[in-house]
Amino acid sequence: GVPTSGKILSGGIDANTLHHPKRFFGAARNIEEGGSLTILATALVETGSKMDEVIFEEFKGTGNMELRLTRELAERRIFPCIDINRSGTRREELLLSERELKMIWSLRDYLNRQNLKEPIEAVIEVMKKTENNERFLEVISHLEKNSKG
Protein backbone atom coordinates (compact mmCIF):
# COMPACT_ATOMS: atom_id res chain seq x y z
CA GLY A 1 0.00 0.00 0.00
CA VAL A 2 0.86 3.65 0.03
CA PRO A 3 2.28 5.00 3.29
CA THR A 4 0.22 7.70 4.97
CA SER A 5 1.41 11.25 4.46
CA GLY A 6 0.09 12.68 7.67
CA LYS A 7 -1.64 15.32 5.54
CA ILE A 8 -5.41 14.97 5.80
CA LEU A 9 -7.55 16.60 3.12
CA SER A 10 -10.87 18.14 4.08
CA GLY A 11 -13.32 15.27 4.18
CA GLY A 12 -10.95 13.10 6.22
CA ILE A 13 -8.92 11.55 3.37
CA ASP A 14 -5.16 11.08 3.65
CA ALA A 15 -3.49 12.93 0.75
CA ASN A 16 -1.56 9.79 -0.34
CA THR A 17 -4.73 7.69 -0.63
CA LEU A 18 -5.43 9.13 -4.07
CA HIS A 19 -1.86 8.70 -5.37
CA HIS A 20 -2.37 5.44 -7.34
CA PRO A 21 -5.70 6.38 -8.92
CA LYS A 22 -4.32 9.79 -9.96
CA ARG A 23 -1.29 8.09 -11.56
CA PHE A 24 -3.62 5.71 -13.42
CA PHE A 25 -5.75 8.55 -14.83
CA GLY A 26 -2.61 10.53 -15.65
CA ALA A 27 -1.39 7.57 -17.75
CA ALA A 28 -3.65 8.64 -20.61
CA ARG A 29 -1.16 11.44 -21.29
CA ASN A 30 2.02 9.40 -20.90
CA ILE A 31 1.92 6.69 -23.55
CA GLU A 32 5.33 5.89 -24.98
CA GLU A 33 5.85 6.36 -28.73
CA GLY A 34 2.78 8.54 -29.15
CA GLY A 35 0.01 6.00 -28.72
CA SER A 36 -3.43 6.98 -27.57
CA LEU A 37 -5.27 5.91 -24.46
CA THR A 38 -8.72 7.08 -23.47
CA ILE A 39 -9.83 6.60 -19.89
CA LEU A 40 -13.43 7.36 -19.01
CA ALA A 41 -14.31 7.97 -15.38
CA THR A 42 -17.52 9.02 -13.69
CA ALA A 43 -18.05 10.84 -10.43
CA LEU A 44 -21.23 11.45 -8.49
CA VAL A 45 -21.14 15.00 -7.14
CA GLU A 46 -23.46 17.32 -5.24
CA THR A 47 -24.37 14.45 -2.94
CA GLY A 48 -23.92 16.48 0.23
CA SER A 49 -20.84 14.42 1.14
CA LYS A 50 -17.70 16.48 1.73
CA MET A 51 -15.57 13.42 0.93
CA ASP A 52 -17.22 13.02 -2.52
CA GLU A 53 -16.49 16.67 -3.31
CA VAL A 54 -12.86 16.41 -2.16
CA ILE A 55 -12.24 13.30 -4.26
CA PHE A 56 -13.88 14.92 -7.29
CA GLU A 57 -11.81 18.09 -6.96
CA GLU A 58 -8.60 16.04 -6.62
CA PHE A 59 -9.31 14.16 -9.86
CA LYS A 60 -10.85 17.02 -11.82
CA GLY A 61 -7.44 18.31 -12.87
CA THR A 62 -6.41 14.98 -14.42
CA GLY A 63 -9.13 15.05 -17.09
CA ASN A 64 -9.18 16.69 -20.49
CA MET A 65 -12.93 17.04 -20.66
CA GLU A 66 -15.84 17.38 -18.30
CA LEU A 67 -19.38 16.39 -19.20
CA ARG A 68 -21.91 17.39 -16.55
CA LEU A 69 -25.30 15.72 -16.54
CA THR A 70 -28.27 17.22 -14.76
CA ARG A 71 -30.88 15.34 -12.81
CA GLU A 72 -33.54 17.96 -13.58
CA LEU A 73 -33.40 17.21 -17.31
CA ALA A 74 -33.38 13.45 -16.74
CA GLU A 75 -36.47 13.75 -14.54
CA ARG A 76 -38.18 15.69 -17.34
CA ARG A 77 -37.12 12.93 -19.79
CA ILE A 78 -35.01 15.36 -21.85
CA PHE A 79 -32.00 13.57 -23.28
CA PRO A 80 -29.13 14.05 -23.52
CA CYS A 81 -29.43 15.61 -20.07
CA ILE A 82 -26.25 17.67 -20.43
CA ASP A 83 -25.58 20.83 -18.46
CA ILE A 84 -24.00 22.71 -21.36
CA ASN A 85 -22.83 25.68 -19.32
CA ARG A 86 -20.86 23.44 -16.94
CA SER A 87 -19.47 21.03 -19.56
CA GLY A 88 -16.49 21.51 -21.82
CA THR A 89 -13.12 20.44 -23.15
CA ARG A 90 -9.84 21.74 -21.83
CA ARG A 91 -7.47 23.18 -24.41
CA GLU A 92 -10.18 23.23 -27.08
CA GLU A 93 -8.11 25.84 -28.94
CA LEU A 94 -5.79 22.98 -29.93
CA LEU A 95 -8.66 20.89 -31.32
CA LEU A 96 -10.70 23.44 -33.26
CA SER A 97 -10.02 25.91 -36.05
CA GLU A 98 -10.15 29.59 -35.16
CA ARG A 99 -13.50 29.87 -36.99
CA GLU A 100 -14.99 26.90 -35.09
CA LEU A 101 -13.66 28.26 -31.81
CA LYS A 102 -15.33 31.64 -32.40
CA MET A 103 -18.62 29.92 -33.19
CA ILE A 104 -18.37 27.78 -30.03
CA TRP A 105 -17.75 30.91 -27.98
CA SER A 106 -20.78 32.51 -29.66
CA LEU A 107 -22.86 29.46 -28.70
CA ARG A 108 -21.78 29.73 -25.06
CA ASP A 109 -22.33 33.48 -25.00
CA TYR A 110 -25.78 33.10 -26.54
CA LEU A 111 -26.83 30.37 -24.12
CA ASN A 112 -25.49 32.24 -21.10
CA ARG A 113 -27.42 35.39 -22.02
CA GLN A 114 -30.74 33.69 -22.69
CA ASN A 115 -33.43 33.23 -20.08
CA LEU A 116 -33.58 29.57 -20.97
CA LYS A 117 -34.35 27.29 -18.08
CA GLU A 118 -32.37 24.58 -19.79
CA PRO A 119 -30.03 25.59 -22.63
CA ILE A 120 -29.89 22.01 -23.90
CA GLU A 121 -33.50 22.31 -25.09
CA ALA A 122 -32.56 25.22 -27.36
CA VAL A 123 -29.55 23.31 -28.65
CA ILE A 124 -31.65 20.21 -29.37
CA GLU A 125 -34.15 22.29 -31.35
CA VAL A 126 -31.42 23.81 -33.53
CA MET A 127 -29.73 20.41 -33.94
CA LYS A 128 -32.99 18.91 -35.25
CA LYS A 129 -33.08 21.57 -37.95
CA THR A 130 -29.45 21.39 -39.11
CA GLU A 131 -27.67 18.67 -41.05
CA ASN A 132 -24.13 18.94 -39.59
CA ASN A 133 -22.01 20.60 -36.89
CA GLU A 134 -20.82 23.41 -39.12
CA ARG A 135 -24.36 24.40 -40.12
CA PHE A 136 -25.47 24.09 -36.49
CA LEU A 137 -22.74 26.51 -35.37
CA GLU A 138 -23.58 28.92 -38.20
CA VAL A 139 -27.24 29.02 -37.13
CA ILE A 140 -26.31 29.53 -33.46
CA SER A 141 -23.82 32.24 -34.43
CA HIS A 142 -26.58 33.99 -36.41
CA LEU A 143 -29.01 33.71 -33.46
CA GLU A 144 -26.36 35.04 -31.11
CA LYS A 145 -25.67 38.09 -33.32
CA ASN A 146 -29.41 38.84 -33.67
CA SER A 147 -29.97 38.56 -29.91
CA LYS A 148 -27.40 41.31 -29.26
CA GLY A 149 -29.15 43.84 -31.52
For 35, residues 6+ apart whose C-beta sits below 8 A from its C-beta are none
Q: What pLDDT, on the 0 to 100 scale, is given for residue 119?
A: 73
Task: Please indicate, yes or no, whether the overall pTM of this predicted structure exceeds 0.75.
Answer: no
- Nearest C-alpha neighbor of 41 from the set 53, 56, 31: 56
Q: What pLDDT, on the 0 to 100 scale, is given for residue 44?
A: 82
- Average pLDDT along the chain, 149 residues, taken 10 residues at a time: 68 75 70 70 83 81 84 88 85 87 83 71 88 87 73
Q: What pLDDT, on the 0 to 100 scale, is given for residue 47?
A: 85
Q: What pLDDT, on the 0 to 100 scale, is given for residue 35?
A: 65
End-to-end CA gap in the chain = 61
Q: What pLDDT, on the 0 to 100 scale, is given for residue 128?
A: 92
119-129 and 133-148 helices, crossing angle to 10°: 120
**Amino acid at the residue 52:** D
